[in-house]
Structure 1
């Protein structure tokens, strides 16, 4: 007798609870649903300042999740996510600033910014992955890309560096960037609209990437990470798959860049500098680069921690980030959140055995 074919909902549930992600089962999804409900209900009791801060913390999540996909699941470390972040932010500012009086002009800017990041990633990825550049050289090349971009944008002061009516601004940065607007709704920093936009995008990207990594395609991506030559011998085009993952991660970084300039109406070359190139790597490493939910949680916690410590001086935030990265590398190579979760899983059956043992 043939087994019944599972319906679409059942298949989706199985994929969401696949083995390539940390959180699974009813307990995880109950906590996930509760956190989602609280986040969506926050505007009903939170302050405008809180809305602005939380939106600021969450808008970096797409970039961090993209790096988790690229580094944790594909095995390609990148110090260039900040470059794609800045490319999208600047292109959005140029396009939206010149089309501000045209209905839908900011949406054209969103598409142009993310597309520019993806296009640069396609060109870079083609030469790197089809050229079979060594894995340890790729992050150095991406870091160089970020630093070159920072240096170039820093030299764009003066009225000669004008695109239409928008000035690049040099090291002072591009100011007066219009926020994303859809009809009469403007997604400015302290608005409920931007808060919900960032929350919904964060939720959709997390669930979408979770489905991706647990799909057949995701298993191929992980196989490339573990043994690219064996995967190639099985008939898969390793280079094209690596480029696809690289471009997706770049597009997610670009989305973060667009959301950032919509939130702050400003961007400067320092967003492509050494610090911003390093921070996504720290977020992914501390949480656990091979788990999307761990990277999501660590990004939010570390962004909140950095913002809190910035009041007392930025050097404290840099110091603590460095200490956390050092502790992770020495004691928690899989990431602090991933290591704690797996330790709890190993401990829980023993604890239940003790409780159920006869007296």
Structure 2
């Protein structure tokens, strides 16, 4: 009952926040500022995808950017070749899911340990980054779409309203879509974790052996969790390609995967609002640091990660929640003493 009530409150809050942002932000901020906010929202969706597979499924992927990049490239190539974007959007979700299904099947049904799983996902990320960088020149095309190597794919068609190919989303329309997708992802994941499937996934994370002894196929639950996270990352990649009308091999880069991990760690593993807030904060900080020539942003981000692990190992949101609960319990005890 409490979980259901919490989910309803979270859904109401996320929905109301998304509605207010979509209605009032375009009237308050100029188009450039809206464009900057849009990338924050897109990356927050990416953060939620890792928050689900790591925080709920206990699967730490060091190459999560692979699915983000596959979504971006799949959308760009399909949109250029198909001449319409609805099927390209679907393909941007399906391709990462299929790749996650193949990779996850080999890892989970092969009984790969967590250490080797991290090494495999890291290696896959480096392979995709290397291959994408090596596809420059006219010989490397898929249909009408030139891969461009390190130069990337320019002039990616922006999403259009299904059935109305001439109705292309402008900056405000894309911002609104991203806000809606973020809210829907947040609400959907909370309800998914509260479902029977989600409870089993969490039980597998807590004690895999016990869950297996209870009759659950832990490999299947891990695989499905991995695929769901990959699909969300692919959706974020699709929106990213729309945001800049461009994509390049940096979407596969190891630095991108590390950033996703930092967002989740700073916000709090095991929560959903935490990674969103962590993403917003780190991205804002990164943008601000790039304006200062005398400071290396990577050093600052590394220092933040180190401090968070040492001082707030649970992350910002879980630590704040724990302190609020402690204060509330102390207040109750004081009231009982005075009563």
Secondary structure, in 3 states, of the residue corresponding to 1:78?
A: coil
Q: Report the CA distance shift for 1:314/1:233 in structure 2 as closer, same or farther (over 3 A).
A: farther
Q: Measure, in 1, the Cα distance between the counterparts of 2:80 and 2:303.
A: 41
1:89 aligns with 2:89: no
Q: CA deviation at 1:47?
A: 1.1
Q: Report the CA distance shift for 1:180/1:328 in structure 2 as closer, same or farther (over 3 A).
A: same
Map residues 1-359 of structure 1 onto 2, 5 A cutoff. 14-15=3-4, 17=6, 35-40=17-22, 41-100=24-83, 105-182=84-161, 183=164, 184-188=166-170, 191-313=171-293, 316-351=296-331
RMSD: 2.3
Secondary structure, in 3 states, of the residue corresponding to 1:185?
A: strand
Q: CA deviation at 1:215?
A: 1.6
Q: CA deviation at 1:348?
A: 3.3
Residues 283-315 of structure 1, C-alpha deviation per residue, up to 9 Å, x if partnerless? 001111100111111112211221222222495
Q: CA deviation at 1:194?
A: 0.4
Q: CA deviation at 1:280?
A: 0.5
Unmatched tracts of structure 2, length 5 or more: none
Unmatched tracts of structure 1, length 5 or more: 1-10, 19-23
- Does structure 2 conserve the Cα–Cα contact (< 8 Å) formed by 1:156 and 1:169? yes
Q: Report which stretch shifted further, 54-63 or 309-318.
A: 309-318
- Does structure 2 conserve the Cα–Cα contact (< 8 Å) formed by 1:172 and 1:268? yes
Q: CA deviation at 1:349?
A: 3.8
Aligned length: 335
Residues 147-179 of structure 1, C-alpha deviation per residue, up to 9 Å, x if partnerless? 100000111010000122211011111111111
Q: CA deviation at 1:186?
A: 1.8
Q: Report the CA distance shift for 1:133/1:207 in structure 2 as closer, same or farther (over 3 A).
A: same
- The two structures have a TM-score, normalised by structure 1, of 0.87
Q: CA deviation at 1:35?
A: 3.8
Q: Measure, in 2, the Cα distance between the counterparts of 1:336 and 1:14.
A: 22
Q: Measure, in 1, the Cα distance between the counterparts of 2:11 and 2:142.
A: 48
Q: CA deviation at 1:342?
A: 1.3
- Does structure 2 conserve the Cα–Cα contact (< 8 Å) formed by 1:16 and 1:210? no
Secondary structure, in 3 states, of the residue corresponding to 2:85?
A: helix
Q: CA deviation at 1:124?
A: 0.2
